Each structure stands twice: as structure tokens, then as C-alpha cells.
Amino acid sequence: MRSVPILVLRLPELERIAWRQGKRAAQRLERRAARAFAQSARQCLRSLDLLAHDPDSDVFVAAIVQTPRAGEAQRTPGLLDCRSALERIAAGMSVATDAAIESGWTVVETLTKPAELAAAICVALERGQRERERYEFFATVGHELRTPLTSIRGYLETLIDGGLDRRTARRFLETARGEALRLGRLVDNMFEFSLLDLSCASLGTTLCDLSETVDAACNVVRPLAAARAITVKGNVTSRALVKIDADACLQALINLLDNAIKYGRPGGCVEITISTEGSFVRVLVDDDGAGIEAAEREKIFGLRVRGSRARRPGTGIGLAIVKMIAERAGGEVSAADSPLGGARFELLLPVRAEFVSSAS
């Protein structure tokens, strides 16, 4: 008996639409999804492969039954074949319905028993969910490792080019070493720090000197800013101790500055300002880029959400990390228009009044 790979796609939106807008609206959406499913599946599967969808169901199934043609490898389609076919069909359905599609695949030994097919559908969707979580975990980790690496490379390249006085060269080496150490801590704490481990301890248990952290964050992003001829200005007029883990705070500030530089105007300027606001310290990160559509200012904090004006490469993860860090520390983050003409991000972090003192 030959193993049969089963690709499963699910449209969870269907149930919500049926509940909120009624059966007719759900049926219209279902017809659009079914058409897109058939069309995309035809493009990436063979003509004898089976497609199945029960009316009023949110599940769409493809069974890869056609034996390979002579000359093609005699094997069951592997992980990558199934995944790439799934991705393409899911993308086609998602575009046609403007809704998220859940997907997954598995292999069954027989197609004759409906109960086994129902069980296989569950197994496939569970596997898809696990794969998505793994992808998100590694994408998050990759995002966090990228900035320290770019920063270290930038400082080392400047040092190799030479021509720096001893003090500046030493400062550059210290920043690069600081980032290498932070990279090590990130790797050590990878699991604890991942977005997926939402059960991990609150980040508001230690104190962090925000004025020092702002300096450190500005130093980390300077090579990125130099590459776009952007000036980074830190406006820190008072020392402020906030209740947050220092590494987590540095990560949040780096992500905001990194974005301000990435989406800012080439040759422009980025500013980071600290002030106290009751029992909170307010951190403002301003840039003079294209800014963010008012309607998107909340959504962009979602995981893997990118704005419609984003013209630079990205993963849609950085702001989700900032939001998670802020909320775990008992603070919050929001986006607005900047007086500089671009975007303004406001990060509020809790502080106790006795920890704030004026700079000497």
C-alpha cells in the first residue's frame, strides 16, 4: 500500500462571518475560497491529485495520489514539496478571501475510511500550528541576533579602516565587546526571551538606569545610522531608574531606534528623548521619515504585521517584541505623528518617584 500525503487548509474566518454576518455572507466567502483553492491547487499539483471540500465546512483537503511520471523520482513527496505546495495554495486562498488560512500536512496509509481522514485532518492542522510556532520562534531569535551582529561588524570595519584616535578606537572596541556579550546572553536566554514563552517571569523585577541604556542603544545603532547618513541624537536631561531588566530595556530601545533609522529619511535625523510623567518615564523616539498611517498605528504591534508604507525589508517582529517587553514590565508603547515629520514611538516604563533625580 502506498502512503498518500494529505494537504489540509482551513479558513477559520468562515465561522466568524457566519456568526456575525449570517449564512449568506459565509457562503459567499466559502465560494471564493473554494474557487481559489481549486485554482491554486491545479497550478501546483498534478491533474489526478484529489481535491475535496464539503459544503458549509471550513476545511479544504488535497490528496497527492498521482504516481510520478516516468523519469520523475519514485518517492512520496517530501517535506519541502508538501510545504511549498501548501504555502502556494494558502497564499492563493488568502489573497482571494483577504483572510488568514491555517494549513498543515500529513501522510495517511489509506483513503478509504472517513474516520481516519478526519483524524488525519486534525493531525495535519496540529503539525501546521507547531511549524508556525517554530517559524515564529526562530524568526524572533534571528531578529534579535541581527542588530548586535550588524553593530559589531560596523565597529570592526571602521577600526580596520584605521585613522581613529586611541580614545575613539577604545570606545568602539568597548561597544563591540558589549554587544558581543549581549549576543551571548541573548543566546543563553533564547528560550526564556522568545515571544512564544509567554509564561516566563515578569520583566519588571530589576532596576535599569535609562540614561545609560539610551547611550548604549545609541552606540549600538550608530553604524546603521552612519550607513544611511542619519544623525542620532539622545536628549537625556535626567537620570531615571526604571523597573525593567536592563537587557530587555536595551533591546526595546534598539528595536525602536533601528526602525527609526530604517524608515527614516536618508541624511535625516532620529531623536530619542527621556522625560518623567508621574510614576512613569516616557521615552520618545522620533524620526523624519514617511511616518505611519493613522489606521495602522495599533496593528503594527502585532506579530508579523508590516505597515503599508514599509519600503524596506523586514519581518514584522521588532515592534511585537517592544510591546511584549513594555507590557511585561508594566508599561506600554504606542505610535503617533512626530513633530520631526515622521513617526513617533512613545514608550512608558514604570518608575518610583524616589528613583528620579535631576542631572547634575
Binding footprint of ligand ADP on the chain (CB under 6 A): 259-260, 263, 287, 289, 291-292, 300, 306-307, 309-310, 314-320, 342-343
| End-to-end C-alpha distance for the chain, whole angstroms | 81
Of the pair 217, 317, the CB lying nearest ligand ADP is at 317
Minimum distance, C-beta of residue 252 to ligand ADP, in the bound complex (Å)? 11
**β-bridge partners, 6:** 63, 106
Of the pair 10, 328, the CB lying nearest ligand ADP is at 328
Minimum distance, C-beta of residue 142 to ligand ADP, in the bound complex (Å)? 11
Of the pair 49, 286, the CB lying nearest ligand ADP is at 286
Of the pair 60, 301, the CB lying nearest ligand ADP is at 301
Minimum distance, C-beta of residue 158 to ligand ADP, in the bound complex (Å)? 25
Minimum distance, C-beta of residue 333 to ligand ADP, in the bound complex (Å)? 11
CB atoms within 10 A of CB 357: 10
**β-bridge partners, 303:** none
- The CA-atom distances, in angstroms, between 197 and each of 112, 322, 324 are 40, 15, 11
Measured distance CA(105)–CA(80) in Å, rounded: 11
- Does the CA dihedral 151-153-157-163 come out positive or negative? positive
Minimum distance, C-beta of residue 157 to ligand ADP, in the bound complex (Å)? 24
Measured distance CA(137)–CA(304) in Å, rounded: 12
Of the pair 40, 259, the CB lying nearest ligand ADP is at 259
- Does the CA dihedral 312-315-320-326 come out positive or negative? negative
Measured distance CA(209)–CA(124) in Å, rounded: 48
Minimum distance, C-beta of residue 306 to ligand ADP, in the bound complex (Å)? 3
Of the pair 164, 229, the CB lying nearest ligand ADP is at 229
